[in-house]
Amino acid sequence: MAVMGIAEALREGIREEMRRDPTVFCIGEDIGVKGGWGGAFTVTLGLVDEFGPERIIDTPISESGFCGIAIGAAMTGMRPIADVQYGDFLFCMMDQLANQAAKMTYMAGGAVKVPMVMRAPVGSTRRGAQHAQTLEVFFTHVPGLKVVAPSTAYDAKGLLKAAVRDDNPVLIFEHKLLYGSKGNRAEKGAVSPIGEVPDEDYVVPIGKGAVRREGKDVTIVGKLLTVYRALAAAEELAQDGIEAEVIDPRTLVPLDKEMILESVRKTHRFVVVEEDNRTHGWGAEIAAMVAEEAFWWLDAPPTRVSAPDTPPPFAPNLEELYVPSVERIVSAVKGLM
Amino acid sequence: MTSVPSAPSVPFVPSDLLNLYRTMLLIRRFEERCNALFLQGRIPSTLHLYIGQEAVATGVCSALRKDDWVFGTHRPHGHALAKGVSPRVIMAELMAKVTGCCRGKGGSMHVGDVREGAFPAIAIVGAGLPIAAGAALSAKMRGTDQVAVGFHGEGAANEGDWHEALNMAAIWKLPVIFVCENNLYGASTHFAKAFAVAHVADRAAAYGMPGEVADGNDVVAVCEAAERAVRRARSGEGPTLVECMTYRQCGHSRSDACDYRPDEEEASWKERDPLKVAADRLASSVPPVPFDPAAIEADVAAEIDDAIAFAEASPPPSPDDLMRHVYWEGD
């Protein structure tokens, strides 16, 4: 058992999968340059020393192109782990992900598989509108993709390994404030949870959520950074005698609906917290699911705490307003009691 | 590095040309029957017919092995037939039957059968080229000598994916062949309105790979160009861009009356119909080969009749199929 952050846990997961299976390889920008960065947030740092540039493949700045290359390799016997430096760049490869990777198995009538991983850092971190979005919902909407969002080191390694072994395209969203990247890639204001990660082989099954805190009065669902905001809110609420249950779905597609519904049937109140625009959002989907499937257990309307419908702002004081704060979560919960 | 080859680099065996002629005729008659079936309401989708371009797919695929891969386009029936996919499963797919090569879930624009090395065709213009390069990367990493072919129309050469794919394929010397079918029109837009270069193949130099212009209506010329590119790919020398000059003799899709094309242009290309070019070559081959066009016609007609009968006798997908194969279900 070792103690580490998410960036290191992902790195160890990649290392173990590449040692286990010669068809696994990494492809992306600035991931294997000797003396370089190990990707934008150090996840692949040093892997080129062990696996060489043939399996840690640096690409030109060609997001759509290398995504397509990963898809083609996956369709023909390889298991690529691709990554983008910032999740925002996924929009450059939207056709490859949404039209090609996601639909290939279906339009082939089940005759072709696309076992690939695409990793993407998200989250507002004082970089302004094009390097700060939390955009999982664009992909959770597309049938054929699986989407995971680990918020602990244990889950990061276990979900990465599960994603590599999955026979479908899996997107892994990672939050920049949770990585625990070190040196000059460390982030201001980072939460950087560290946790115990087993040395032995394990996976976190795709599709299973986690109850991060038990409670009987309200269910709060968060993902990535907002899991930690929700836990801090639960701590404050407890001072006022309100016991919040905090659920981290860990996988967004397929969603562990039953874990959320079971909690709501117990607490009768529901809040979802997302660092993303409110309208037509992920939180809207989760809230609708709760309204449809647990309506008769609810004592109050399903409620969203979201970013406003603006691009992520740059100014730190505006960014504070944009990302759901502990205070906004506490206030939303109190409004339901 | 663009070149227009004047002489064949390898002697062509005329008896092979009989097989190529038959494949081209199969594609031609298959497409004509599809058109008739569409007009009768027996094929429920639109169609992008390959009529006029048969020499390209036929010539390229004749240079490939069964375990090589092709990635077709929205106009893919010819690519699939030339790579060896059975007319039965293509016709069944067009008629939306569960026995189709994609279980009736792909349709005309996605026909392909991976068992024959033809992946489901990719109908987003240009998007298949990085994917073909990825298959080539896979062959290289796994140490096989397989080759991948990315078919595309000339219109695709103005998509970003085309440039990104050519660049990475060249940097990494991937065993991929980019086959551009320049039929002069991207939908209704003429080549000259979309390109400031004389040939798509001129752009190969920008990526440090050979570019070659071939007569896309002469199956022998296509075959020879493809064989040169395949040899380069298999021997680790990297990708080639082969531009085949050709012409679609019908509309872009079933709804296109082609009013934007001059009659004289259409007539001049029909004079150089790929079947006629091949037939002339056969008739004048030295030494002479027995060439019986009527017998080949009858043989091809029987194969297509059988495909149509197979497709019409097949059931559509069951309602359960709607929800299946969104994710991989196993081999």
Please state the ipTM of this predicted complex: 0.96
Residue B4 pLDDT greater than 70, yes or no? no
Cβ contact (<8 Å) for A107 and B102?
Answer: yes
Average of per-residue pLDDT values in chain B? 94
Chain A neighbours among B 156-195 (CB < 8 Å)? 160-161, 163-165, 167-168, 171
Q: What angle do CA A161, A163, A168 make, to 5 degrees?
A: 150
Specify which residues A56 forms β-bridges with.
A26
Cα–Cα distance, A146 to A154 (Å, whole number) = 19
Q: What is the DSSP string of B259-300?
A: TTS-HHHHHHHHHT-HHHHHHHHHHT-SS-----HHHHHHHH
For chains A and B, CB pairs below 8 A equal 151
pLDDT tens string A59-83: 999 999 999 999 999 999 999 999 9
Exposed / middle / buried, residue B255 (Cβ in 10 Å: 0-12, 13-18, 19+): exposed
Phi, psi of A151 (to 5 degrees): -120, 0
Question: What is this structure's pTM?
Answer: 0.96
Where residue B285 falls among pLDDT bands split at 50, 70, 90? confident
Predicted pLDDT at B7: 46
Cα–Cα distance, A126 to A187 (Å, whole number) = 10
Residue type, A243: E
Cβ contact (<8 Å) for A111 and B134?
Answer: no
Residue range A24-51: mean pLDDT, rounded: 95
A280 is catalytic: no
Cα–Cα distance, B109 to B97 (Å, whole number) = 15
Closest CA to A198 of A11, A47, A9: A9
Strands B69-71 and A24-28: unpaired
Distance from CA of B42 to the nearest CA of A (A): 21
Calculate what percentage of chain B has a pLDDT beyond 90: 89
Cα end-to-end span (Å), chain B: 44
Q: Does B117 reach chain A within 8 Å, measured CB to CB?
A: no
Calculate what percentage of chain A has a pLDDT beyond 90: 94
Residue B240 pLDDT greater than 60, yes or no? yes
Residue B111 pLDDT greater than 70, yes or no? yes
Predicted pLDDT at B14: 62
Chain A neighbours among B 124-163 (CB < 8 Å)? 124, 127, 129-139, 141-142, 148, 160-161, 163
Q: Are A178 and A6 in contact (CB under 8 A)?
A: yes
Cβ contact (<8 Å) for B160 and A143?
Answer: no
Strands annotated E in B5-122? 69-71, 118-119
Specify which residues A251 forms β-bridges with.
A148
Cβ contact (<8 Å) for B133 and A107?
Answer: no
Residue B9 pLDDT greater than 70, yes or no? no
Cβ contact (<8 Å) for A78 and B138?
Answer: yes
Cα–Cα distance, A106 to A104 (Å, whole number) = 6
Where residue B12 falls among pLDDT bands split at 50, 70, 90? low
Average of per-residue pLDDT values in chain A? 97
Cα–Cα distance, A228 to A210 (Å, whole number) = 13
Cα–Cα distance, A210 to A191 (Å, whole number) = 19
Residue A193 pLDDT greater than 70, yes or no? yes
Q: Are A112 and B101 in contact (CB under 8 A)?
A: no
Displacement of CA B65 from its chain's centroid (Å)? 15
pLDDT tens string A206-236: 999 999 999 999 999 999 999 999 999 999 9
Q: Are A220 and A189 in contact (CB under 8 A)?
A: no
